[in-house]
Chain A
Amino acid sequence: MAQNLTSLEHLIQILEKFPGIGRKTAQRMAFYILQMDSEGIYALAQSIKDVHEKIVHCSVCCNITETDTCPICSDEKRKSSPIIVVEDPIDVMALQKIKEMKYRYHILHGRLSPLDGIGPKDIRIKELFARITENNDIPEIILATNPNVEGEATAVYLHKILKPFEIPVTRIARGLPVGGDLEFSDEITLSESIRGRRAIR
């Protein structure tokens, strides 16, 4: 790209780091941004700033929220309900599609993956431990990490280390499409897999 377009090139370089965005798409996005009016640009920049400044992690479940404690954790109707453990905040959005039963959540912010240098200390297991230790209103822990080898490893690890608490620990059934992540599941398969959860060996 020509020398005097460094600001545009800079924008493209930032955009192409997004997941699923290649160089070509980044260019298209940058050119779209380029022709937006000031009002649109301001709204976009402000919304990016807002998520950065306003969104924090809930001190109970580690989910992303604008108010600490988050609305789910402060919901009286969910008091004493099972806790579903998931990998990422986006998984909660998928699970929240199930309206018939109320659950609480715990978000690990990752999964065990030696190849990515992620061990038990790098995900929010300590916080889950604290939550279980400090509360005696947890009837069940449901492990809903993704049905791939890393998700399964994380679930089996959690099951092993949660044993001393003597709380029932279950794993969602493999009703999920093989290789599919929670994020892409529809409501029916999700509620099926929660209902069909199983004890771990």
Chain B
Amino acid sequence: MYIDKIKLTNFRSHKDADLTFDPSINLITGRNGSGKTNLLEAIYYLTIGKSHRKSPDKDLVMFDETYFRLDGYIATKEGRIRIETGFSPEQGRKMVKLNKTRLDRISELLQKVSCVQLSPDDIELTRGSPLIRRHFMDMALVLTAPSYLHALQEYRRVLSQRNELLRGVSVPDPTLLGVWDDQLVEWGARLILKRFEFINRLVDLVNKLYHSLSSNPVHISLSYTPFGLSEAVSLERIQTLFREKLANNRARELKQGYTLTGPHRDNLRIAFGGLSLKRFGSQGQHRLVSTALRLSQALYLKEENEDCPVVLFDDVFAELDSQHKELLFQMTLRFDQVFIVSPQEPKIFPRQAKKFHLQDGDFLQK
């Protein structure tokens, strides 16, 4: 898929910008603070329905304005679509339209269009807390399987209901707690099964990508072991183990007042040549493996949806030496449309690109 046009109104630093993009490579240059990243944020928001920086919608509205609006035309495998989205803090709600029809839920867009962003922060994917890797798995699955999004929303709801019950002043009646256990297990097991399927696919992709970025023949292994399982046996088996774990933890959960096990506590461990990357990895290794992970997420979406996500490279080249820079540029050829944001035009540039330069908040097209 590719974004053909986007119109930004009152979005962060962009008062009014109307841009037509190249279907393959777009290069956006400009000094820091010129609004380059804000443009990527707009593209991400148009396709995913929220800010990549997790900013609340009201922060996206230009200072002294009452709303923002994004209007885009996207070519997908199912044809050209128009997405309009916007937010007005006064009305307090998000508006999303697909081909002029208002959508009730923003999630209806998720399987039609998708987008993956690479940024310097990606290093946290391998170095940071398990939460970041759970979010990484969830994102890939939500963008490919509507049933996963539903299971995730239900699981979160059950989890907060169950935690509330555990937190309560009196010890909950076992029948009542059992009702929430049932649903926690039902939705949780579905999440775990899908995460297993995803990791199985991801491990090949991440190794292929890593080896095209690095001459080091080391193997990257991903280990996902909920309840001590090393592979997804069956939904029933996961449910049984989850249930056992809840039973074993009952006393502790009542004492601590929250749910101690389940997909909300999952971890994904990454080993590099058999050693924990988190404990033993160098800065350079973290940088390359996390980049390979993010790229493999994009390839997973491409394979699964049979439509390539738009891929945004936010200032990631600066972090790499010239050899890796070149290899990463080569990588952009694997995707339909990419946006590369960089302070200056990079010296090496393999393909014809459409170039935009940002100066004093205006786009100068070269």
- Seen from chain A, the residues whose Cβ lies within 8 Å of a Cβ on chain B are 22, 24, 112-115, 119-120, 148-150, 152-153, 156-157, 160-161, 178-179
Contact = CB atoms under 8 A, between A and B. Distances in A.
A153 B164 contact: no
A152 B168 CA distance: 21
A115 B150 contact: no
Interface string B157-184: 1101110110010000101101110110
A9 to B, nearest CB: 18
A115 B165 CA distance: 8
A178 B175 contact: no
12 contacts: A113-B161, A114-B162, A114-B164, A114-B168, A115-B160, A148-B154, A149-B183, A150-B161, A152-B183, A153-B183, A156-B183, A160-B178
Nearest to A157: B179
A113 B163 CA distance: 11
B178 A149 contact: no
A147 B9 CA distance: 39
B79 interface: no
A5 B84 CA distance: 39
Contact of B161 (A114, A156, A157, A178): A114
B228 interface: no
Contacts of B173: 120
B91 A24 contact: yes
B274 interface: no
Given A114-B164, A149-B161, A178-B150, A157 B176 contact: yes
Interface of B: 90-92, 150, 154, 157-158, 160-162, 164-165, 168, 173, 175-176, 178-180, 182-183
Contacts of A148: 154, 157
Contacts of B175: 157, 160-161
B91 A153 contact: no
A153 B161 contact: yes
Nearest to B146: A178
Contacts of A119: 176
A113 B179 CA distance: 11
Contacts of A24: 90-91
B179 A156 contact: yes
A153 B180 contact: yes
A4 to B, nearest CB: 26
A24 B66 CA distance: 15
A152 B178 CA distance: 12
A92 B162 CA distance: 29
Contacts of A161: 175
A192 B168 CA distance: 39
Q: Which of A112, A114, A179 has the most CB of B within 10 A?
A: A114
Contacts of A178: 150
A157 B91 CA distance: 39
Given A22-B92, A24-B91, A115 B179 contact: no
Contacts of B160: 115
A22 B161 CA distance: 27
B176 A112 contact: yes
Given A115-B160, A149-B154, A161-B175, 5 more contacts: A24-B90, A112-B179, A148-B157, A149-B183, A153-B158
Nearest to B170: A119
B178 A115 contact: no
A61 B171 CA distance: 31
A2 to B, nearest CB: 21
A42 to B, nearest CB: 34
B60 to A, nearest CB: 20
A177 to B, nearest CB: 11
